[in-house]
Structure 1
Amino acid sequence: MVPDTVRGTSVLRSAQFLRLWTATTASGIATWALPFVLGLAVLSRSLTAVELGVLLAARTAGFLAAVPISGVLADRYARRRVVLWSGLISAAAAPVLAAFVGESLVLSAAAAVVMGAGQGACRPAFQALTAEVVEGDQRQQANAAMTLSVRVTTLVAPGLTALLALVVNTQVLLLGIGALWLVAALVPPAGTGQVSRSGTSFVAEFLDGVREARRHPWFLAGLGALTAVIATGYSATGVVLPLVSRDRYGTEAVLAGALTAYTLGALAGALLIARWRPRAAGWTALAGLALYGFAPLSLLLPVHPFVVLAAYTVAGLGIELFNVPWFTATQREVDPGKLARVSSLDFLMSYGLAPVGLALIAPAISAFGATAVLVACTAICFAAPALAALTPSARDFGPRR
């Protein structure tokens, strides 16, 4: 018997898991809070819109650079150690960013790069650490609990942060983000994985992770579908939804309502999938991912605003019906010694390419019109998961049991 792993009827009764949950929640809040706090700085005229764009791009660059490196490190060394140093790096960058934001764009951008690197480095390590701390039959509930905390944060935190901004300045809020990263660094429990150092180069070890991913056709198919949906559906939400809210409905309430509805739908999805064990888990997850197609579809048609809200609720529900089984299957099927590298490939391809979609959708609208772009986004969101479901092992995200 391994005393440091989670056993029993409920993962929430484990002190080990609660420590892990607290750390991942802190990192999730810190990750979400940075662009929001910097956006508040623009409203208070501490930053310009151009400076905000530079800082967010710098953070993204740090994230993308660190993810593949962290995947190798988290498989080469103890996952707990990688989480520790990732959190400490981001925590150390926070006071530097607080000191120079609005004063020196070069130094604040450098701090944003470092903070993004810490954020990117912790993601694969947390995924692999979860597989070490939580027993297999409890991982779906554990992943649902983690995503639930993220959704609650995105629902509640904007209002609380805006209220805090009335009494403290941007610098204090940035220092608070640094404190959250300290929690993420110091609180997690130790894992049970064995350290394995092959002595080969970083590139060779990362490519070994790619070969492991290729051993699982369901993973490649699902990752392709997820990347396509994020690059198109998320981009439609980020760029077209504000335009539709303003031009078609003449109010920002539709934009705010749709984003809130999406979060509420995701909360419902996380609660549902925490207990539900569908027989064809992979097909169910891919069907949930396809539900995001209703979001750009609702923007395409001149419908009542409540139809848009309903579409975004369904999209949020579906994305969690995909996320939780996806993470759980990856932790179950992938070789434990290569899990962090495969997870880094997941984050690198799906969320790493999201900015590319955002960058391309505005020129595409200018060239082809919003209607054509939304039709394309809708078709891709529905078609990509359907094509992924044709992969034989996609039915259960792994061999049938």
Structure 2
Amino acid sequence: MTSSADAPSTPSKSPRRPAWAGRNYTLLATSAFITALGANGALIASAFAVLESGGDGGDVGLVAAARTLFLVIFLLVGGAVADRLPRHHVMVAANALNFFSQGAFALLVLMGDPQLWQMMVLSALGGMGQAFFSPAAEGMLMASVTGEQASRAFALFRMAMSGAAVAGAALGGALVAAFGPGWVLAVDAAAFAVAGALRCFLDVSHIAPREPGGGLLSDMRDGWREFVSRPWLWGIVAQFSVVVAVVGAAEAVFGPLVARDELGGAGPWGFALGAFGVGTILGGLLMMRWKPKRLLFAATLSVFSLALPSAALAVPVPLPALVAVMFVSGVTIEIFGVSWITALHQEIPEEKLSRVSAYDWFGSVAMVPIATALAGPAESAFGRSASLWGCAALVVVATTAVLFVPDVRRLRRRESTPITGDPAAGRADVVGVVDSVMGAEIGAAATRDATPPR
């Protein structure tokens, strides 16, 4: 169990930022914002790089699938490694891998005539880097804040990422049009280099050295036991394995088709996606002030709204109605996201955060390639409208099912001691809460709950 030596970095005494925004939190938020800007632009650039090299939509899908496949394959290993080694070392190493893979991708495109297999290999390396980075980053973020302001810190962090996603996509599209995809990929590589350099300055002096375990497989099994011992945790991850998959298929496959045939093309669809992004930013602002007592109950109720975009596309509704639906979905997904990461921070032992995060990520993304691959055959077999109604129904069914898990309905926010001049004080209070909950619930073979990355 975590000791007082595992306290987060000393809170900032600067009057220009709140006490909970300490050095580590500030460095993590700044570096994540930089990479999110680059990555969201690079998503557009990589697709156009494939198309400009003579590829088609299927080739774009292959390059994207290579990244997702390696992300899924290495996620659990990445989580175990992040709990065995200093997390900031894992993060910097992953950033270095992404810098070299994205830099090589950019060089190939700028030199002209990149081959499909080359782009797939480099995309796969990028997915591998993300698989090691994401669990380490999530564990580091949750260890960087404490006290009753933790949910506010997570809300601000997610709001910054949402803003970076909106700005990065818009900026990336403009830069691709002006300078070509190769230069945008080069900018993304540079963003990884800058972010990795910033993460080298993370203060880990307060974190006790990791005790050597029984090996990587043993650590992965230990993470699995931690995961399955909590019905709320595996229940919501199972729910999101369905929700993320069908929402992803609806927005990645069916959405552009509906936009082309019914809404006037890519411009209106981009506007609707932008409304979702704006909603996530306002949702983050809401969660900086609202602290629902029953964390997971409020979070789960908010997920029902994710059925609305699929239903709206199934009708299909006029563009203003679709924009409103996407906006509402953006707001509510932030209610879920902030509540979820707050509950994880509250309930999971610090030394196991990355392993649990890896199982969360794995469950959330594992079915996405399957769902997107089946979207086309489903449209052929049942029709586009029926397939979209099916996506909406699956969101409702999966979300309703998880409400039958008692811990999802009952788990409550535990207020901890506000941060003072001694950063160990707040963390010690959280540790005491986790100890008491573990003793009561694991001893009875039950447990508890509560972020994407989502």
Q: For residue 76 of structure 1, what is the amino acid of its counterpart? A: R
Kept in 1, the 8 Å contact 2:83–2:355? The answer is yes
Query: Runs of 5+ in structure 1 lacking a partner?
Result: none
User: In the superposition, relative to structure 1, how do residues 33 and 76 fare at CA in structure 2: closer, same or farther (>3 Å)?
Assistant: same
Matches within 5 A, 1:1-400: 4-6=9-11, 10=18, 13-42=21-50, 45-49=52-56, 50-101=58-109, 102-188=113-199, 189-191=202-204, 192-395=206-409, 397=411
Give the SS at the match of 2:288.
helix
Deviation of residue 199 (structure 1)? 3.7
1:97 partner amino acid? F
Q: In 1, distance between residues paired with 2:215 and 2:39?
A: 30
Measured in 1, the distance between the counterparts of 2:19 and 2:367 equals 33
| C-alpha spacing 1:257/1:394, structure 2 compared with 1 (3 Å) | same
Of stretches 137-146 and 361-370 in structure 1, the one that deviates more from structure 2 is 137-146
Q: Which region of structure 1 is more displaced relative to structure 2, 347-356 or 69-78?
A: 347-356
1:85: Cα distance to partner?
0.7
Alignment CA distance shift 1:167-1:237 (3 Å) = closer
Amino acid of the residue matched to residue 358 of structure 1?
Answer: T
Q: 1:383 to 1:17 in 2, by over 3 A?
A: same
The Cα shift of 1:88 comes to 0.9
- How many residue pairs end up in the alignment? 400
For the residues of structure 1 that align with 2:9 and 2:414, how far apart are their CA atoms? 30
Question: Where in structure 1 do 4 or more consecutive aligned residues deviate above 4 Å?
Answer: 396-401
Per the TM alignment, residue 345 of structure 1 is displaced from its structure 2 partner at its CA by 0.7
Distance 1:352 1:111, change over 3 A: same
Deviation by residue 1:31-59 (Cα, 9 ceiling, x = unmatched): 3233211123356x235224433322222
Larger mean CA deviation between 187-196 and 18-27 belongs to 187-196
State the alpha-carbon separation in 2 of the partners of residues 94 and 26 from structure 1: 15
In 1, Cα distance between equivalents of 2:34 and 2:410 = 32
Partner SS, residue 395 of structure 1: helix
Q: Given the two structures, how large is their TM-score scaled by the length of structure 1? A: 0.92
Alpha-carbon deviations, 1:120-170, whole Å to 9, x = none?
211100111012211142321222122212211222223322333355343
Which segment is superposed worse, 142-151 or 189-198? 189-198
Q: 1:12 to 1:336 in 2, by over 3 A?
A: closer
CA distance in structure 1 between the partners assigned to 2:98 and 2:134 by the alignment: 13
CA, structure 1 residues 392+106, in 2 after alignment: closer, same or farther (shift >3 Å)? same
Cα shift at 1:187:
1.2
The AA in structure 1 aligned to 2:216 is F
CA distance in 2: counterparts of 1:314 and 1:68, whole angstroms: 33
What amino acid is aligned across from residue 173 of structure 1 in structure 2? V
Asked if 2 retains the 8 angstrom alpha-carbon contact of 1:285 and 1:321, the reply is: yes
CA distance in structure 2 between the partners assigned to 1:255 and 1:105 by the alignment: 28
Shift of 1:341: 0.6
Instruction: State whether residues 289 and 318 of structure 1, in contact with CA within 8 Å, keep that contact through their aligned partners in structure 2.
Output: yes
Equivalent position amino acid for 1:190 in 2: D
Greater Cα shift, 85-94 or 60-69: 60-69
RMSD: 2.4
Letter in 1 for 2:203: A
Instruction: Give the C-alpha shift of residue 202 in structure 1.
Output: 2.2
Q: Which runs of 5+ in 2 are unaligned?
A: 416-454
Provide the identity percentage: 26
Change in 2 beyond 3 A, CA 1:47/1:27: farther
Q: Is contact 1:11–1:142 with CA below 8 Å preserved after alignment?
A: no
What's the TM-score once normalised by structure 2's chain length?
A: 0.82
Please tell me whether the aligned partners of residues 233 and 296 of structure 1 are also in contact (alpha carbons under 8 angstroms): yes
For 1:122 and 1:145, how far apart are their aligned partners in 2? 21
Mapped contact 2:295–2:412 kept (Cα < 8 A): no
Q: Which residue of 1 aligns with 2:425?
A: none
Q: Tell me: CA distance 1:242–1:136, structure 2 relative to 1, closer, same or farther (3 Å).
A: same
Aligned amino acid, residue 311 of structure 2? L
Cα distance in 1 for residues equivalent to 2:21 and 2:115: 47
1: CA distance between counterparts of 2:316 and 2:142?
Answer: 46
- How far 1:235 sits from its partner (Å)? 1.3
Shift of 1:261: 1.4
Q: Distance in 2 between matches of 1:11 and 1:27?
A: 25
Q: Contact (CA 8 Å) 2:245, 2:371: kept in 1 or not?
A: yes
